[in-house]
Structure 1
Amino acid sequence: MEIARVIGNVWATKKDQKLNGLKLLVLKVLVDKEREKEGLIVASDIVGAGVGDLVLISKGGSARRAVGNIDAPIDAAVIGIVDSIEVFEDE
């Protein structure tokens, strides 16, 4: 799993039928609590996340199982909304 920030939505009128009914979000994956990786990913949302939310994402086969369709052509799924992050670092 990884943590990401929702920065937008994706709408596609023409798409694989197995994507019908899935909400698609644009995400920036976090490197650490303050910084994001370069690039964007698109993930299917099964928890009702919105723009600005920090979310947990699962990738690959786990993502397909999470949406309940192992044949869905997705690489990532939003599987949780993060309430807070607590990181303890040695000084």
Structure 2
Amino acid sequence: MQTARVVGNVWATRKEPSLNGLKLLIVEPYDPNTGEKSKAIVAADAVGAGIGELVIVVSGSTARKALKKDDIAVDATIVGIIDEVEVEEGEKG
């Protein structure tokens, strides 16, 4: 799992049929220890997240299991919306 911030929406009128009905969002992985951001990715939304929210993202087979579909073309899924992050000063992840 990793934390990320939702930075945008994706609309695709033509796509793999297994993606029909899924909300797709652009998320930017974020390290709460350092504040460092990583390259943005597209993730399926399983929890109703919105732009600007800090979220929990899973990837790989876990992303498909979170959607309860093993045969879906997804490798990242938002599984939680974060209310607060607390990191002790000096802690390294």
Q: What TM-score, normalized by structure 1, do the two folds share?
A: 0.93
Question: What residue ranges of structure 1 are gaps of 5+ in the alignment?
Answer: none
User: How far apart are 1:11 and its partner, in Å?
Assistant: 0.5
Structure 2 Cα separation of the partners of residues 25 and 41 of structure 1 = 8
| Seq. identity, % | 48
1:88 Cα deviation after fit: 1.0
Equivalences for residues 29-68 of structure 1 within 5 A: 29-33=29-33, 34-37=35-38, 39-68=39-68
Deviation of 1:65 after TM superposition, in Å, equals 0.5
Equivalences for residues 1-91 of structure 1 within 5 A:
1-33=1-33, 34-37=35-38, 39-90=39-90
CA deviation after TM superposition for structure 1 residue 40, in Å: 1.2
Give SS of 2:32's match. Answer: coil
**DSSP 3-state at the match of 1:89:** coil
Does the residue aligned with 1:55 lie in a helix, a strand or coil?
Answer: strand
**Structure 1: distance between partners of 2:43 and 2:75:** 7
Structure 2 residues not aligned, in runs of 5+: none
Structure 1 residue 89: Cα displacement: 3.2
- Alpha-carbon distance between aligned partners in 2 of 1:90 and 1:20, rounded to the nearest angstrom: 44
The separation in 2 between residues aligned to 1:90 and 1:57, in whole angstroms, is 25
CA RMSD of aligned residues (A): 1.3
C-alpha separation in 2, matches of 1:3 and 1:22:
20
